[in-house]
Structure formats: C-alpha cells, structure tokens
Amino acid sequence: MPDAPVLSALPFTGGPFAETGYVLRCEHTGRMAFVDPGAAAGRMVDFVRESGGKVDAVFLTHGHLDHVEGLAVVRAFTDAPIHIHPEARPFLEHAPTLAERYGLKMEGPLPPPDCAFIPGESVLVGEVELQVRFAPGHAPGHVILHAPSAGLALVGDVVFAGSIGRTDLPGGDFQELMASIRSEVLTLPDQTRLLPGHGPETTVAVERMGNPFLISQTGGGYA
C-alpha cells in the first residue's frame, strides 16, 4: 500500500519579488501552518479560512522583506505563534523601513515574533515534525525546516532549482552559504523535495547532480 502524504505544502506566489510562501497541512489532523507569508498572504489566509483549518504556527525562514511583508495580514487572521531565528529578528524589524525605500505599500505594523527557532530542535504542524536546520549565508539567522516523515524541506532562499541564494545583501556571505548548503541541504536524503522561496520546487538529487553552483564548489565531487 503506498504511503499517504503526511504533510502537504501548497505554494502561494506574489509580489514584485515573486516570493513563494507555503501553507502546510498535517493530513492526519488537518492542522496548518504558514511559511514565509509575503505578498500572497491574503490568498494564503483565504485558503486556510475556506478550508476551515486551524493554524498551529507561522514560520519565517529568514527576515527579508519579501518573506515577511504579509505578516500583519496573517496576524489579523490568527494568533498562532510566529517563529524566527534570533539572528534574523533585526531584519524583520527593519522590513517596514526597507519597504518604504523600495516604494512598496506594506500592511503594517508588523507583529513581533513570539518564538525563537532553536537549530537541532523540532517544531510541529499537527503531528508532523519539522527539524530546524541552521543555514546562514544568504541572510543571518536563516533556517531550513526539514520534515523527514514527509520527505520535504522548506529551504527559503538558501538554494533554488539550478541556483543559490544571493549573498550581496547585508549579512550575506558566499562561503558561509556554500557551507550551509553542503552541511544542511546535500546531507538530506536524495529524494527530499526542496521547496524554495522563489521559483519551482526541486529535489536534493537534482541539485546535487545539475546545480552549476554546487558542482563548481564541490569540484564535481557531488555530481
């Protein structure tokens, strides 16, 4: 008998940065979570409202504007605790100023986070465990959320299909990002689905073999 999916992850993309947030749903309990509610947060909230699901948490992979700009929209709908790594928190606090600089209209003020991600520990959506992996380099305090039982990982802006996160923004560091990808992404099982903050989903195996940034970094050792 094939295994039923234990966790679904629905993508919602929007805004000038084409950022993708996700609605997670534990298929056993129906409990839900928001991941990186950006410009599409309104549609994410509508989806959750219409499905009648209860929200356990809001997870932020990092504090960049495009991943957090919909937080106020989400907070108006649910009091579920907002999780972010402490090192990412200053970016979250700076987001409204940054939005102004980009000339973006942002629903605000942004609600403060409630919980600090602790790398190595797990967070829950219903019955599904998501392991918190520390993966800085694109942004300080960036985390990846890996659900081993569901075979998927929310990777934010660490790695994309055929590309990697930019490292030219404040606190970015190319060598640190490559180290994070080696230790926190390429160590995941090959068939793990990688759900990024921009662009289509991919898998560990596909990126290990075909991502030009990873091949050049590893001398082809992973290819």
At closest approach, how far in Å is the CB of 37 from Zn ion?
Answer: 12
H or E element, residue 100:
helix 89-101
**Residue 169 C-beta: closest distance to Zn ion, Å:** 7
Amino acid at 144: I
How many residues would you count in the chain?
223
Q: CB-wise, 86 or 189, nearer to Zn ion?
A: 86
Q: How far lies 98's CA from each of 11, 91, 95, 172, 176, in Å?
A: 25, 9, 5, 17, 24
What is the number of the residue whose Cβ is closest to Zn ion?
Answer: 64
- CA dihedral of 191, 193, 199, 205, whole degrees rounded to 10: -20
Rounded CA separation 102/121 (Å)? 36
Is the Cβ of residue 140 or residue 197 nearer to Zn ion in the bound state?
197
Cα dist from 7 to 67, 78, 146, whole Å: 21, 20, 11
Q: Is 77 buried (19+), middle (13-18) or exposed (0-12) by CB count in 10 A?
A: middle
State the minimum distance, in angstroms, from the CB of residue 137 to Zn ion: 11
Closest approach, Cβ 112 to Zn ion, in A, equals 20
Q: Which CB sits closer to Zn ion, 137 or 151?
A: 137
The footprint of Zn ion (CB under 5 A) covers 64, 66, 157, 197
Q: Which is nearer to Zn ion, 11 or 148 (CB)?
A: 11
Beta carbon of residue 65, minimum distance to Zn ion (angstroms, whole number) = 8
Which lies closer to Zn ion via its Cβ, residue 21 or residue 151? 21
